[in-house]
Chains A and B, each alone.
Chain A
Amino acid sequence: MSIAVSLKKKLKYFDLDISFSCAKKNMVVMIGPSGGGKTTIIRMLAGLEKPKEGKIVFGDEVWFDSLRHVNVPPQKRRLGYVFQDYTLFPHLNLYENATFAAVDKKEVDELFELFKIGHLKKRRPQMVSGGERQRCAICQALARHPRILLLDEPFSALDAITRRGLREELKSLKGRMSFPIIYVTHDITEALYLADELLPVVDGKIDNQWLQRMITREPSQEVALRAAREPRLTLVY
């Protein structure tokens, strides 16, 4: 199942106007400067916010159509969503969190092994590290057999090493899944590593020129200095 999206919404500093699609088994990565509307787009896909105008069609299901007043609530869209933080319920332990909406509890055990957090099953979210929490959040989302997976800067709050590790796991996971994945990040390197398709979003609109500028511009003095200070990180992946 693939998803076709066209959205318009008036935001505080700019108007959001964007159309794109994502085929199944594909990962579309939305990149762009902070505050550009990426999170709003993802939230509209999830049904947590309403576009002023537009249409969201998943396969042959219409999730949103402003002309015909269709708005399927998030509960019915059956998607997976990993926030940057706070996806896990603090009153449940990691295992209970992952099985919260799971289709098959046994799968959860497998997922936990896959993401190497099997030994933390009984711990509460407050008692594990950020990276472990995000792993659990991904398990929670996957356990639901989502038809599409949305990730909003899931690793931004983590340290560079953990981030790199999780990125690799996600990429290998993607190969095995058959649903579309939409991933939001502001880290270009991460985007280049993960994406099948890149979607640069600047001030609420797709701006392919921006990406070109980012990649091919002459490294500024600042970038050159940084490269000198942190050689390994700038050449990451």
Chain B
Amino acid sequence: MDFLALYVTLKLALITTVLLMVIAAPVAYALAYYRFAGKSFLEALIYLPMALPPTVIGFYLIIIMGPKGFVGKTWEMLTGGSLLFTFIGITVASIIYSIPFAVQPMKAAFAKIDRRLLESAYVLGLSRRAAFFRVIIPNSVNGIAAAAILVFLHSIGAFGVLLMVGGSIPGETKVASIAIYEAVEMMNYEVAGMIALSFIPISYAFLLLINKLNERTRI
């Protein structure tokens, strides 16, 4: 039973979810409320990771996060170390991999809010920023929660992307999905089975939670 790998998976999923919710919120806000030139192109770009096979994403990530790539070189300049094969590296990969799963539900939740509520808030003296936190967020909690859960579940399942850019370093980048794969390779079927089994209650619990949240909005 590889507890270390499970720990890395959960740590990765948690950090990815928190960071991604913060990153995706303004993007979802812009997409929900503004019209601007090139908007549909930007949206298609954001949803791209959903359409591409994970190994394709991983393939391009190695190139841009590697020592010859734009992102990798910048990182090296700023920190002196490489971005690939580190926990931070797989966090970046995980975020990119799950962006559409965060932006889409949040954008839908924001767009559902009646424009007049926001106008009422502005007239009552709230700045756009204050209105975002005091009106938009409280009225889209369910959508935001659903986005967070989706991102979390999607992250714990990441395999192809992390296989390409992770380097399977125990305690750092070897996540549970890779551990299962390697256990099978080593003919350690019991270990593989145990890790796999532990995914089920976690995923199931979160899916139940999503269902509950969806029910509440219908009232």
Q: Interface on A for B, CB 8 Å cutoff?
A: 46-48, 73-75, 77-81, 83, 86-91, 100-101, 140, 144
Contacts and interface: CB of A to CB of B under 8 A. Distances in A.
29 contacts: A46-B119, A46-B123, A47-B122, A48-B122, A48-B123, A73-B122, A74-B119, A74-B123, A75-B122, A75-B125, A77-B123, A79-B123, A80-B123, A81-B120, A83-B116, A86-B114, A86-B116, A86-B120, A87-B116, A89-B135, A89-B138, A90-B117, A91-B138, A91-B139, A100-B124, A101-B126, A140-B124, A144-B124, A144-B125
B127 interface: yes
B73 to A, nearest CB: 43
Contacts of A88: 120
Top 10 closest pairs, chain A to chain B, by CB: A101-B124, A91-B138, A74-B122, A81-B123, A86-B116, A74-B123, A87-B120, A101-B125, A75-B125, A48-B119
Contacts of B127: 75
In this complex, which of B114, B117, B135, B139 has the most chain A Cβ atoms within 10 angstroms of its Cβ?
Answer: B117
Contacts of A101: 124-126
Given A73-B122, A81-B120, A144-B125, 11 more contacts: A46-B123, A48-B122, A48-B123, A74-B122, A75-B123, A75-B126, A78-B125, A83-B116, A86-B120, A88-B120, A90-B117
Contacts of B125: 75, 78, 101, 144
Interface string B125-148: 111000000010011000000000
Nearest to A82: B120
A79 B114 CA distance: 21
Contact of B139 (A74, A80, A89): A89
A88 B139 CA distance: 12
Question: Main SS of the interface on chain B?
Answer: helix
Question: Main SS of the interface on chain A?
Answer: loop
A46 B125 CA distance: 11
Contacts of B116: 83, 86-87
A46 B122 CA distance: 10
Given A91-B138, A91-B139, A86 B123 contact: no
A39 B100 CA distance: 38
A90 B139 contact: yes
Contacts of B120: 81, 83, 86-89
Contacts of A77: 123
B13 to A, nearest CB: 29
Nearest to A76: B125
Contacts of B117: 86, 89-90
Nearest to B137: A91
A146 B119 CA distance: 16
Contacts of A100: 124
In this complex, which of B116, B124, B139 has the most chain A Cβ atoms within 10 angstroms of its Cβ?
Answer: B124
A140 B123 CA distance: 11
Contacts of B124: 100-101, 140, 144
A128 B122 CA distance: 24
A78 B122 CA distance: 10
A29 B48 CA distance: 53
A110 B124 CA distance: 20
Contacts of A46: 119, 123
A133 to B, nearest CB: 13
A215 to B, nearest CB: 33
Contacts of B123: 46-48, 74-75, 77, 79-81
